[in-house]
Amino acid sequence: MQTAIPEPSPAPPSHRSTGGSVRSEIHIKRAYAARDLEQDGQRVLVDRLWPRGLSRLDLADAVWIRDVAPSTGLRRWFDHRPERWAEFRRRYFAELRGNPAVETLRQIVAAGPTTLIYGAKDERHNQAVVLTEFLGGKTTPAKAPGR
């Protein structure tokens, strides 16, 4: 028996792309968190690797855009070390500027509420946080809050 994958809700008129920025509702959450049918909208996995311990069925409703994730070299260098966060953000922004997969993600976000999902344990230091800034039209990473 096949399960229908819900279509993303149509975006209200205020959710539109303007220039390089996307004006829409973007949420971020761990891939292991429960789906919120009322808030999540379209779920997008933004990891290069599939989250450990989850089956494809666990995230069957998510679109996987692995090419929008940090490069393997950057991901390995960062290693989720908070002391490398500022430099990770700077380098990842540089990667995103030339990445054609960003346009695919912008189109999804422009269509309506979107939740970027990731596998990292650290909820403050991960690529979904940086992607949200980038999609919001920032041209450089914001100053990192006090560590």
pLDDT tens sequence across 21-45: 555 799 999 999 999 999 999 999 9
pTM of the model: 0.79
Identity of residue 14: S
pLDDT value at 126 more than 80: yes
What pLDDT is stored for residue 22 in this prediction? 52
Cβ pair 43, 61 in contact under 8 A: yes
What pLDDT is stored for residue 1 in this prediction? 42
User: What does the domain layout of the chain look like in residue ranges?
Assistant: 16-135
Cβ pair 69, 51 in contact under 8 A: no
Q: Count, in order, helices (H) and strands (E) of the chain.
A: 4, 6
Quick one: average pLDDT of 82-111? 96
Read off the tokens for 99.
Answer: 């990445």
Confidence of residue 54 (pLDDT cuts 50, 70, 90): very high
Give the Cα separation of 37 and 126 in Å (integer). 24
Per cent of the chain over pLDDT 70 is 78
Q: How many CB atoms lie within 10 A of CB 11?
A: 18
